[in-house]
């Protein structure tokens, strides 16, 4: 198919998060009050790099052990996160680099600015990556992240979530979103989630329990599909145009 001649459906802009959402206090200071300014891109931004399987380590997609000492593993609820990367027609997107990062099982990130009281796990780094296969599938083994407090309204807690970054054919072609977990009560009261304002769009950010993919006596599986563009696109934090 010649995608350069394909007509894409327009995105539903009403599903986008509100730029100025007072309940999410950070938006008051950082929302853009003026028209966006387009910055020119170089060939290096749009044409490279091209990622291949040789660029990834053997355990890059296994957050349970990819930071652990030999014979050790991360502490927490062991889970499997699977899904498909799709375009707006439902066609799979193969050989796309997906990166993830998250807090540990206690809700703390391995970051110097994270001062939450929960302890660090010495065997959990909190990041991983993989390439989608020819059918657009991806798989990560990891630990279910914990909820954590953040200084927004005095007693706000982020729902358990995993950050996703999806690369195109260059560093400038990057989409970022967050995945939440089915049944988490914090989703309905989180100002960041509720700034989206569209129940369908929020629902697309929630991973579903998938017992068919769960590994008995080992891993609980969750399914999270990603749609790159179109009216049914996943909400991406850094892409409001829907392309």
Specify whether 138 is catalytic.
no
Q: Which of these is catalytic: 24, 109, 138, 222? A: 109
Distances in Å between the Cα of 111 and the Cα atoms of 103, 104, 107 are: 10, 11, 12
Query: What are the phi and psi torsion angles at 192 (to 5°)?
Result: -65, -45
Q: Which of these is catalytic: 163, 186, 208, 223? A: 163
Reading the block at residue 227, the tokens are 């749609």
Q: Go through 160-176 and write b for each residue having 16 or more CB atoms within 10 A of its CB, e for each that does not.
A: bbbbbbbbeebeeeebe
Q: Which of these is catalytic: 161, 180, 222, 229? A: 161
Specify whether 186 is catalytic.
no
Reading the block at residue 13, the tokens are 């802009």
Q: How far apart are CA 20 and CA 81, in angstroms?
A: 32
**DSSP class of 188:** G
Q: Which of these is catalytic: 67, 158, 222, 229? A: 158
Specify whether 163 is catalytic.
yes
Instruction: Residue count of the chain, please give it.
Output: 243
Q: Which of these is catalytic: 21, 24, 138, 148? A: 148
User: Active-site residue numbers?
Assistant: 109, 148, 158, 161, 163
């Amino acid at each position: 198919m010649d995608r350069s001649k394909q007509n894409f459906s327009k995105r539903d802009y009403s599903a986008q998060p509100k730029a100025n959402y007072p309940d999410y206090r950070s938006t008051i200071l950082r929302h853009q009050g003026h028209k966006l300014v387009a910055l020119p891109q170089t060939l290096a931004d749009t044409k490279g790099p091209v990622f291949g399987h040789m660029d990834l380590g053997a355990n890059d997609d296994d957050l349970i052990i990819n930071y652990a000492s030999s014979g050790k593993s991360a502490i927490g609820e062991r889970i499997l996160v699977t899904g498909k990367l799709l375009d707006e027609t439902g066609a799979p997107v193969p050989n796309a680099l997906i990166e993830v990062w998250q807090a540990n099982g206690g809700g703390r990130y391995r970051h110097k600015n994270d001062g939450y009281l929960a302890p660090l796990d010495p065997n959990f780094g909190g990041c991983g990556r993989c390439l989608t296969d020819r059918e657009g599938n991806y798989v990560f083994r990891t630990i279910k992240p914990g909820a954590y407090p953040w200084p927004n309204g005095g007693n706000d807690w982020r729902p358990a979530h995993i950050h996703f970054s999806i690369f195109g054919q260059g560093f400038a072609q990057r989409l970022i979103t967050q995945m939440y977990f089915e049944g988490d009560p914090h989703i309905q009261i989180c100002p960041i989630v509720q700034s989206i304002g569209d129940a369908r769009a929020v629902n697309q950010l929630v991973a579903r329990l998938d017992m068919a993919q769960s590994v008995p006596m080992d891993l609980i599986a969750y399914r999270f599909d990603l749609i790159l563009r179109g009216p049914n696109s996943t909400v991406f934090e850094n892409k409001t145009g829907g392309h």
